[in-house]
Structure 1
Amino acid sequence: MSLAPRAVLVHRTSEYEELLARHGTHGQAAFFLSSRGRSIEEVAERHRRARRALAEVATAVPSLWRQARVERADLDRFLFAPEDVVVVVGQDGLVANTAKYLSGQPVVGIDTDPGRNPGVLVRHRAADAPALLRAATADSGTVDELTMVEAVTDDAQRLLALNEIYLGRPGHQTARYRLGPDDESAPAEAQASSGVLVGTGTGATGWLGSLRRERGGGPPPPGPAEPRLLWYVREAWPSPATGTSLVAGVLTATERLRLTVESDRLVAFGDGMESDALELTWGQTVRVGRSPTSLRLLG
């Protein structure tokens, strides 16, 4: 007998909860914010809206389904199952944080603060949850297959990201490495820079978009479902031993960028989550390109 679906509700600790954890009481947190010209009421109201949305979504889960909740900080320790329907209740960034731990499960994004969030990935309201959950299991809803990027090391470590992967020093200081296409016969260039970014069409409006604007344009960014990736080298430094001829480009669905570490320690992390990074040591090689896994986001 097949298992009943499980609704996994993903949420994150609110700013209000973080303030209480730091200051102890509502009154002390209010005093702290007022001394900086802010009101705790706006923070508390956003907290209340998020909790109401989470409760409404939990109530919408069919009675025969199983249900679980996971906080953002625990995502790397949570085991998602093939039959899960993942409901992200929060902001666009929380969808990206969740995507790297999935393997094709359908995802529903619920916006807890309409008008404040862009709503690119959290496209729905809590009131839509009953219909969305039915559509997720009946395969009757519109599903966007959003391209993801992956980094794979020569010792088989793997990292996924929805927006972009950063390779460089943990503190963004100068990193040394060799960069080139994933073709042993093609030359690789020794570089010193503040890191390399490889990202998707979803990430093209964020960090990658900032780099593209700084450089006055470049290749047109791909759409979120397109298999193309963009890559940029940040602040490459020319010297007698390092070059700057490979600083930006496009990867097709089958192409990979190859980076060989020539520093004591580099890291690779995705979507800004530095706490969940791959450690890269001298001489290690990492290849970055389009992931065969995509994010299945209900439209």
Structure 2
Amino acid sequence: MSLAPRVVLVHRTTEYEELVAHHGTHGQAAYFLRSRDRDIEEVAERHHRVRGALAEVAAAIPLTWRQARVERADLDRFLFAPEDVVVVVGQDGLVANVAKYLSGQPVLGIDADPGRNPGVLVRHRPRDTAKLLAAAGRAAATGVDELTMVEAVADDTQRLVALNEIYLGAAGHQTARYRLGLEDDGGVVEAQASSGVLVGTGTGATGWLRSVWQERGAQLPLPAPTAPRLLWFVREAWPSPTTGTTHVSGLLTTTTRLRLTVECERLIAFGDGMEGDAVELTWGQSVEVGVCGERLRLVG
């Protein structure tokens, strides 16, 4: 007898909850916002909309199914099971935050506050939950987009996976120093000093990657979310007698990888803005970045 599916509701603490936790009471939080010409009621209203959406989604889960909840801050300590159906209630970025911890489980993105989110990844409304769960619970769910992800693998086996992008650079605002090369570039390697390297997917092309692409006026076309391609950019490469600026952007496919060898005391790599879950690299270590073999299965 097989286990009934488990629905894992992923959410994050609202601004209102953070304010009250920090200031102790609703009244103290309201006083703090008034001193900055802000009204707590608009923050509280958004909180109630998000909590209402979470309650509506939970009520739509079949009674015979199991349930679990996990807050964004606890994702790195939560154990997802193969039979899970993951329901993200919140913003687009929350889907990206959970993607790195999954291994093929279907994901439903529920927009908790329509009108405030682009809706690229949280494509559905709470009222659609029951129908979507019924489809996702079948053995071969249809209407699922297989979104390309990016991975970084260090020479000490540390591994990082992200849905939007991976950033490699110095912690803080120091200059990152490294040697950069491509596997298929005839062994050409360039020493660089820069603000770091950004490697992004087609999903990330709606965010940070797109801003760099626009600013650079890049001729490379942005990949589609399901395309097995990545774009990479070096940010603010610095020319000097010992560092170059020749290799500052490019395309990665399933057969090519970008390789960085650290030439400073400490570099970090983190994905999708989650700096607290970073890979740390020291002098002489190498890391390769490329298309991940796993994909995020997002229910369309």
- Measure the CA separation in 1 of the matches of 2:96 and 2:221: 22
Deviation track 1:71-116 (CA, whole Å, cap 9, x = no partner) reads: 0000000010100000000000000000011011000000010011
How many residue pairs end up in the alignment?
299
Q: Does residue 61 in structure 1 map to residue 61 in structure 2?
A: yes
What is the SS of the residue equivalent to 2:22?
helix
**Contact 1:231 1:249 (C-alpha < 8 Å) held by counterparts:** yes
1:3 match: 3
- Measure the CA separation in 1 of the matches of 2:276 and 2:244: 31
Q: Give the TM-score, by structure 2 length.
A: 0.98
1:162 match: 163
2:122 match: 122
1:290 match: 291
What is the SS of the residue equivalent to 1:89?
strand
2:278 match: 277
Q: Does residue 92 in structure 1 map to residue 107 in structure 2?
A: no
What is the SS of the residue equivalent to 2:137?
helix
The one-letter amino acid of 1:90's match is: G
2:32 match: 32
Q: Pick closer, same or farther for the CA change 1:254–1:214 going to 2, 3 Å.
A: same
- Alpha-carbon distance, 1:225 to partner: 0.4
- Measure the CA separation in 2 of the matches of 1:248 and 1:184: 13
1:47 match: 47
**Contact 2:184 2:256 (C-alpha < 8 Å) held by counterparts:** no
The one-letter amino acid of 1:244's match is: T
- Alpha-carbon distance, 1:184 to partner: 9.2
- Alpha-carbon distance, 1:285 to partner: 0.6
- Measure the CA separation in 1 of the matches of 2:257 and 2:173: 23
- Alpha-carbon distance, 1:208 to partner: 1.1
1:215 match: 216
- Measure the CA separation in 1 of the matches of 2:167 and 2:58: 35
Aligned pairs (5 A) from 1:162-201: 162-182=163-183, 186-201=187-202
The one-letter amino acid of 1:132's match is: L
**Contact 1:11 1:94 (C-alpha < 8 Å) held by counterparts:** yes
Q: Pick closer, same or farther for the CA change 1:185–1:220 going to 2, 3 Å.
A: closer
- Alpha-carbon distance, 1:64 to partner: 1.2
| Contiguous gaps of at least 5 residues in structure 2 | none
The one-letter amino acid of 1:283's match is: G
**Contact 2:201 2:229 (C-alpha < 8 Å) held by counterparts:** yes
- Measure the CA separation in 2 of the matches of 1:169 and 1:156: 20
The one-letter amino acid of 1:259's match is: L
Deviation track 1:159-212 (CA, whole Å, cap 9, x = no partner) reads: 000000000011132000000012595121100001000000110121111111
1:135 match: 135
**Contact 1:132 1:141 (C-alpha < 8 Å) held by counterparts:** no
What is the SS of the residue equivalent to 2:49?
helix
The one-letter amino acid of 1:179's match is: L
- Measure the CA separation in 2 of the matches of 1:201 and 1:172: 27
**Contact 2:23 2:29 (C-alpha < 8 Å) held by counterparts:** yes
What is the SS of the residue equivalent to 2:167?
strand
Q: Does residue 13 in structure 1 map to residue 13 in structure 2?
A: yes
What is the SS of the residue equivalent to 1:212?
helix
Moved over 3 A (4+): none
- Measure the CA separation in 1 of the matches of 2:286 and 2:218: 30
What is the SS of the residue equivalent to 2:268?
strand
| Contiguous gaps of at least 5 residues in structure 1 | none
Percent identity, aligned pairs only, is 75
2:22 match: 22
- Measure the CA separation in 2 of the matches of 1:291 and 1:101: 13
1:262 match: 263
- Alpha-carbon distance, 1:29 to partner: 0.8
**Contact 1:262 1:283 (C-alpha < 8 Å) held by counterparts:** yes
